[in-house]
Every structure is written in structure tokens, then in C-alpha cells.
Amino acid sequence: MAKQQQQNRLAQNYRGDVMLEQQVAIDDSLLPSANELEKLKKIDPTIIQWIMKRTEIEQDARIEFNKNQNDFVKYNLRKAHDFNLIAIIFSFLLFVFILGLSALFIIKELPVTGTIFGGTAIITAIAFFIKATTKSKS
């Protein structure tokens, strides 16, 4: 909540076109300036109390809005964390299942199939780990 001013100017070009100037002043303060309050008080002596009451209501609404925004962000971060945790757990369980299936194939005297399953599981796990670590560093 502050007063912001912006001034834009466009220089004249070689053809002699007219210069364009734009000035913008933004005041998002909740209270009017002291001069305006003094003028308003001359019109209605009770207006200052009304303005103060409205300003308090507006400030409380802004604080509540920011609190709701923070709660929303926290909720989304928590859900993303939970989703990532569940994804990691299921990935680990799938990896263990495939390695167990590989061991079962080897025990059932299918060593080529078991080796292919086990090797594919290990290579895939390593590839995902490398991808995740390079993504987190960038």
C-alpha cells in the first residue's frame, strides 16, 4: 500500500511526429490524504469516523484474503507432497515386485527371462534416479 507513479515519454522521430507523454499515479492507500480528510470534515463532521470504520473493515478483509491465499497454497503443497510420497512408495513396490518376478523366473529355470526382467527393472530404476537428480539440480 503505497503511492506509485509512472511516467512514460516517447521522443520525437526524424519525421517530426509529435511526442507522446503519459503519466500514471496509483495510490492504493486505504485512507485519503490529510487535505482530502480536512475538506470532507468541513462537509460532514462525522465522515472521519465513518472513513476510519470502513478502513478497518477493508484492512480486515485484505488480511483475511491473504490468510485464505496462504491456506490455499499450504493445502496445494501438502497434496503435492502426499502425491509424490505415494508415487515413490508405489514405484518402490513395483520395483520389488518385478525383482521378485525375476527371481521366480530364475527359480523356475527360466534364467534368460528372469535376467531380462531383473536387468530391465534395475536399468529403469537407475534411469529414473538419474533423471530425478538432474531435474532437481536444475
DSSP 3-state helix, strand, coil percentages of the chain (rounded to 5)?
A: 70, 10, 15
- Which residues, including other chains, have CB under 8 Å from residue 27's CB and lie 6 or more apart? 3, 4
Asked if 30 and 1 touch (Cβ cutoff 8 Å), the reply is yes
Reported as a single tens digit per residue, the pLDDT across 3-16 is: 677 777 777 777 77
The per-residue pLDDT for 15 is 74
> Tell me, what's the pLDDT at 107?
92
**Buried (b) or exposed (e) across 32-65, using 16+ Cβ within 10 A?**
eeeeeeeeeeeeeeeeeeebeeeeeeeeeeeeee
pTM score > 0.75 for this model? no
pLDDT in tens, the chain (138 residues): 556 777 777 777 777 777 777 787 776 777 777 888 888 888 888 888 888 898 899 889 989 999 999 999 999 999 999 998 998 898 889 888 988 989 999 999 988 988 998 898 889 888 888 887 776 665
Residue 126 to residue 91: CA distance in whole angstroms? 12
